[in-house]
């Protein structure tokens, strides 16, 4: 069993990386071989919209005119049984690095042969050799968990993109909301990012996320990408998801 974390932080070794490492530890505790890819350390060019990949209907991973490190990451996704997409929350979303990577993954791992609600030309997965477990993990510097819904449009987007490119289904997500050691003064609030601490509860939550992924893979609970299931999941309110923000 292989579990891969794709981490789009700009600061490898800091909050997002520590949480992602914990999640991988959790997966490893149940026997998974794990790997973390830090996108920042790779050469990831911007998609040029040349549509070479889009026009290739056959390849499992379509060719790209840019010869950088993206293909290697896509091959790691192909070989994985579970993928954790990790990013800091930047401007209420994921980092530009993550969106740059997802743009490159779009028509290289999807082909425009799908059909949904009468609309043809929709993306459908190319990596259909197996279904992969998908989880998201984001970390925030100011927003606490209970206010997540106002400042995390990244996680649902990341999950939707992730299950498509992985031909998989969601097994969990984690929002590492801002936790401060004490009440901050007004001045300190204006430097809140510097006070944000990783709590033990968050590290435990990340560890459990990795375990949940490994369990889902081991028990064969992971299904292939199902666009209708994803649409109904995205329509659910945070309350429906039981994510009203219990902070621990
Ligand atoms: C440009 C920028 C935008 C940010 N936007 C948000 C935000 O919208 N909400 C939030 O809670 N934190 C925000 N943060 C703080 C980061 O989410 C936080 O520091 C995160 O934990 C960093 O992860 P890292 O340690 O992996 O870099 C932002 C940070 C930067 C640099």
Q: Report the C-alpha gap between 112 and 234 in whole angstroms.
A: 22
What pTM was computed for the model? 0.94
Query: How many Cα atoms within 13 Å fall on the side-chain side of residue 22?
Result: 20
Contact indicator for 134, 171 with CB cutoff of 8 Å: yes
Q: Which three-class secondary structure state does DSSP give residue 214?
A: helix
CATH number at residue 229: 3.40.50.360
Residue whose CA lies nearest to ligand 1 atom number 4: 90
DSSP E strands: which ranges in the chain?
2-7, 33-38, 82-88, 110-116, 119-125, 132-139, 168-176
Q: Which three-class secondary structure state does DSSP give residue 43?
A: coil
pLDDT at 227 (0 to 100): 87
Residue whose CA lies nearest to ligand 1 atom number 23: 88
Number of domains in the chain: 1
pLDDT digits (tens, 9 = 90+) for 61-81: 999 999 999 999 999 999 999
Residue 212 in any domain: the answer is yes
Residue 241 in any domain: the answer is no
Residue 245 in any domain: the answer is no
pLDDT at 243 (0 to 100): 46
Residue 224 in any domain: the answer is yes
Residue 166 in any domain: the answer is yes
Contact indicator for 92, 153 with CB cutoff of 8 Å: yes
pLDDT at 247 (0 to 100): 34
Contact indicator for 25, 207 with CB cutoff of 8 Å: yes
Residue 240 in any domain: the answer is no
pLDDT digits (tens, 9 = 90+) for 144-192: 999 999 999 999 999 999 999 999 999 999 999 999 999 999 999 999 9
pLDDT at 244 (0 to 100): 43
pLDDT at 230 (0 to 100): 75
Determine whether the shortest distance from the Cβ of 191 to ligand 1 is under 6 A.
no
Whole-Å CA distances, 58 to 124, 132, 180: 12, 20, 51
Q: Which atom of ligand 1 is nearest to the CA of 18?
A: 26
pLDDT at 245 (0 to 100): 40
Determine whether the shortest distance from the Cβ of 13 to ligand 1 is under 6 A.
no
136 exposure class (CB count in 10 Å sphere: 0-12, 13-18, 19+): buried
Weakly modelled stretches of the chain, pLDDT under 50? 240-248
Residue 185 in any domain: the answer is yes
Residue 243 in any domain: the answer is no
Domain extent, residue 197, equals 2-235
């Amino acid at each position: 069993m292989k579990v891969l974390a794709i981490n789009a932080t700009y600061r490898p070794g800091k909050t997002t990386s520590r949480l992602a490492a914990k999640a991988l530890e959790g997966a490893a505790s149940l026997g998974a071989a794990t790997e973390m890819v830090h996108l920042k350390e790779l050469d990831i060019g911007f998609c040029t919209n040349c549509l070479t990949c889009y026009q290739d209907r056959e390849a499992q991973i379509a060719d790209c005119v840019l010869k950088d490190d993206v293909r290697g990451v896509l091959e790691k996704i192909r070989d994985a049984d579970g993928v954790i997409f990790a990013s800091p929350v930047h401007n209420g979303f994921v980092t530009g690095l993550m969106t740059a990577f997802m743009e490159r993954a779009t028509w290289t791992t999807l082909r425009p042969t799908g059909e949904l609600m009468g609309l043809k030309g929709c993306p459908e997965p190319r990596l259909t050799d197996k279904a992969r477990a998908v989880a998201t993990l984001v970390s925030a510097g100011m927003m606490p968990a209970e206010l997540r819904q106002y400042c995390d449009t990244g996680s649902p987007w990341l999950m939707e993109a992730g299950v498509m490119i992985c031909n998989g289904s969601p097994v969990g997500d984690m929002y590492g909301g801002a936790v401060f050691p004490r009440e901050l003064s007004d001045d300190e609030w204006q430097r809140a990012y510097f006070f944000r601490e990783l709590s033990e509860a968050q590290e435990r939550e990340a560890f459990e996320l990795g375990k949940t992924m490994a369990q889902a893979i081991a028990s064969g609970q992971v299904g292939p990408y199902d666009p209708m299931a994803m649409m109904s999941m995205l329509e659910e309110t945070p309350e429906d998801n039981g994510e009203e923000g219990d902070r621990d």
